[in-house]
Structure 1
Amino acid sequence: MAQDLTPSPAPASAEAPPTDATAGDGAPAPRAATPMDSRLLWIAPALGAIYGLLIRLGAAWFGPWLRSHGYTHEVAGVMSGGFLVLTPVVMGMLTIHARRREGCSWLFACFGPWIATFMMLLGSMVTLLEGAICVVMMAPLFLGLSSLGGLLMKLLQTLWDLRGRFVGAVAVLPLLALLVEGPMAQADAWQSIRQTVVVEAPPARVWQEILDARGIRPEEMPHTFIHLIGVPRPVEGLHRQRADGEVRESRWERGVHFLGRVTARTEQREIAWRYEFAPDSFPAGTMDDHVVIGGRYFDLGETRFLLTPLDGGRTRLSIEAHYRVSSSVNLYAVPVAALLGEDFVQALLALYRQRAERPDPRPAALARAGD
């Protein structure tokens, strides 16, 4: 009788070979990438950016809305720790949480939130919530803190199975911080900048250029970072004698104008003034409200020019400028203001040096100034 060569079925108790759903050790195997995963690489940051824009709107409208409903305490605004610190941290956390099912690497947890940050900052400019000056000032802080939030969420996901209630509680933290931070007094930090340049011209020549700086052309100002991000350039600065004393009338681009009341003057040696700003000194749209000079968060004090004669008909020209920064995040705001202020002062020194060293177009006026 012929032998049956048909293989017998495997016993029911035999272990099945690994499939796509399981690995050899029984653990779930990594799922193959799909087009949806690629889209989620952008969807997750987009959700973080939308959240950041909503909190930006809330930081501006939350206080007035509460006051209209009888809330009498002060509510912190955009220049607060609740917005500038907590918002980017939570943006990073939400960006990584949105990819919890697909998972992400530690590298993405660190730099993925940057996509959300750039989208949020760009959206703030497109919707006119912020101008270029504020966006540039906020960008380094937001990028660093969003990375911190992303890494923190990645760490928490490796330790616990986070539920929706936890994420919801985290999302409202910036708005709650605005309420708590509001009654706290903002710190006023008075700072000073002193820069010096040597001018190949006598003090009388330099003095004349300081008192009569008219017709400043854009090409006379060096290319500086502060003007690149949108701060108007000076157009003229003229000293006039009025009934109430000597003043310096300053005009900048885009209709900016203000006074400097002279507080000290030693002919061809020293002159100082303290700024005075009118309600229309900065027309709407010329500078962001959060960095407008003479406003709640930033102000200029006294500016002093010092001229020291040197050998060979040269002059050491120094500018000493005092300014105030007022915010809940002065640890970050003060060095940023110092960076921008030094950039502006260096541009002024370069302007006066260039003008004083060129052939004098006003010999008669200069001769009178030297008498």
Structure 2
Amino acid sequence: MSADQNHDPSQDQQNHHSNEPSIHPRNALQPVHTGGGPASTSEQAAEPQQQPQQALDGGDTPMAPLYWIAPLTGGLYGLAIRYLAGWAGPFLQSIGVNSRMAGVMSIGFIMLTPVILGALTVYLLRNTRPSWMATFFTPWIATALMMMGSMLTLMEGSICVVILSPVFLVLSSLGGLLMRAILNVMEVQGRHIGGLAVLPLLALVVEGPVTPQDRWQRIERSTVVAAAPQRVWNEIVQARDIRREELKPTLAHLIGVPRPVEGINHTTAQGEVRESRWERGVHFRGRVTDRVEGRTLAWRYEFSPDSFPPGTMDDHVVLGGQYLDLGETRFTLTPIDADHTRLDVVAHYRVTSTINVYAVPVADLLGRDFVDMLLDLYRRRSEAAGPLASGPPA
């Protein structure tokens, strides 16, 4: 039998299948490289790197936690600096170290802490590539968390928080913008951040020997009252039962300063004094230094250790304290005609700190607002009282 006669067609079919590339089940879903050669190692490694890059650019889920972790960390940092600024000096003195470390009312704390707080917050957000708007406002969240934490831990009261919030918000944004600008031109490492974090504490040590400056200021305000001078005089020396609705709203009262309840002049063995009472048990006196019946009245304030019960005023803004005091207050009544009087007030106050550039304007704003409230009270009461009855003046 010839070779052609012995050929089996089934053998050709088997040989045909044997020449086709085999496909193993494990390789069935793998892409086939058709470029004419084996796939390079760099091409194989390119695909698994694409997904993290998308998360970095788009701020997807892997980066989302940073948007609350960063301001929370900044807030905790600010709270820690606030604690150390108020605790370190007294602690060192209690163990026998004559520390001249500055405290909370200092450049080191009020000016440097918010800048570093904002810079730290933006540094923690660096991988999210925040916009300039996020760079500006995210430090505000950290500042708000710090302020709320200081009130919850009773390190600060509402008065100080409101007074310091504007400068903290502005400087924290400045710190964030500076950090964003630095990150655009250089790589910031952890040791750099550690050095920045301790700057406020180092500043407190350096600033400690600096003597705070006393700044005596004066407030001059006036109003015209549709009443005779003697009527206005009576309302000033006997201001009894002052009700809340009689007092126009002031910024000082909105942030927590107690309202006056009464101010009464009377004679003692040591001379004439003015007894003043405010809400929440606040009380103090003024010793009369000048009096011309119906024309001039002046007194100088005196505060005692119990004038402000605990919790009524923050230690940093309590009157008669280390940082703030009141001097002489003088009322002058000038007749315009029989039924009109010009009422002038001159009030003196002291601010003592190393940040007078900020503290003095704030004290002046609050003081003017408070004096205007008193003038409005005396004007309303004098005009509502009607003409004086016949007889000797009160």
Question: What TM-score results when the alignment is normalised by the length of structure 1?
Answer: 0.92
Equivalences for 1:19-168 in 2 at 5 Å? 21=49, 30-168=56-194
**Aligned-residue CA RMSD (Å):** 2.3
In structure 1, the residue matched to 2:393 is: 369
* Separation of aligned partners in 1, 2:38 and 2:356: 72
Deviations 1:205-258 (A, max 9, x none): 000000100111111111111111110111111111111111101111111111
* Separation of aligned partners in 1, 2:58 and 2:227: 74
* Separation of aligned partners in 2, 1:258 and 1:61: 30
Within the candidate set 264, 269, 293, 2:295 is matched to 269
Q: Is the 8 A contact 1:117 1:143 kept in 2?
A: yes
Task: Measure how far apart 1:362 and its partner are.
Answer: 7.7
* Separation of aligned partners in 2, 1:354 and 1:236: 15
SS in 2 for 1:118: helix
Amino acid at match of 1:73: S
The yes-or-no answer on 1:240 pairing with 2:266 is yes
* Separation of aligned partners in 2, 1:37 and 1:363: 78
* Separation of aligned partners in 2, 1:276 and 1:181: 31
Amino acid at match of 1:357: E
Amino acid at match of 2:304: A
* Separation of aligned partners in 2, 1:181 and 1:284: 29
* Separation of aligned partners in 2, 1:35 and 1:301: 60
SS in 1 for 2:120: helix
Amino acid at match of 1:279: P
* Separation of aligned partners in 2, 1:69 and 1:246: 46
* Separation of aligned partners in 1, 2:142 and 2:88: 23
Amino acid at match of 2:393: A
Q: Which moved more, 1:246-255 or 1:36-45?
A: 36-45
In structure 2, the residue matched to 1:257 is: 283
- Cα distance change of structure 1 residues 361 and 255 upon mapping to structure 2, 3 Å threshold: farther
Amino acid at match of 1:37: M
Within the candidate set 251, 256, 259, 1:230 is matched to 256
* Separation of aligned partners in 1, 2:61 and 2:130: 16
In structure 1, the residue matched to 2:324 is: 298
Mark the runs of 5 or more structure 2 residues left unpaired by the alignment.
1-19, 21-31
* Separation of aligned partners in 2, 1:48 and 1:182: 25
Task: Measure how far apart 1:8 and its partner are.
Answer: 4.5
Equivalences for 1:256-335 in 2 at 5 Å? 256-335=282-361
- Cα distance change of structure 1 residues 138 and 127 upon mapping to structure 2, 3 Å threshold: same
Task: Measure how far apart 1:69 and its partner are.
Answer: 3.9
Q: Is the 8 A contact 2:273 2:285 kept in 1?
A: yes
Q: Is the 8 A contact 2:92 2:99 kept in 1?
A: no
Within the candidate set 185, 193, 199, 1:173 is matched to 199
- Cα distance change of structure 1 residues 151 and 254 upon mapping to structure 2, 3 Å threshold: same
Task: Measure how far apart 1:343 and its partner are.
Answer: 0.7
SS in 2 for 1:37: coil
In structure 2, the residue matched to 1:214 is: 240
SS in 2 for 1:76: coil
* Separation of aligned partners in 1, 2:36 and 2:378: 95
Question: What TM-score results when the alignment is normalised by the length of structure 2?
Answer: 0.86
- Cα distance change of structure 1 residues 166 and 352 upon mapping to structure 2, 3 Å threshold: same
Amino acid at match of 1:368: P
* Separation of aligned partners in 2, 1:11 and 1:210: 102
Mark the runs of 5 or more structure 1 residues left unpaired by the alignment.
none
Within the candidate set 376, 380, 391, 1:350 is matched to 376
Q: Is the 8 A contact 2:57 2:129 kept in 1?
A: no
Q: Is the 8 A contact 1:73 1:183 kept in 2?
A: no
Task: Measure how far apart 1:13 and its partner are.
Answer: 8.8
- Cα distance change of structure 1 residues 249 and 159 upon mapping to structure 2, 3 Å threshold: same
* Separation of aligned partners in 1, 2:38 and 2:393: 110
Task: Measure how far apart 1:109 and its partner are.
Answer: 1.4
* Number of residue-to-residue matches in the alignment: 361
* Separation of aligned partners in 2, 1:7 and 1:158: 41
Task: Measure how far apart 1:361 and its partner are.
Answer: 9.7
Deviations 1:289-332 (A, max 9, x none): 00000000000010000111012510111111000111111111
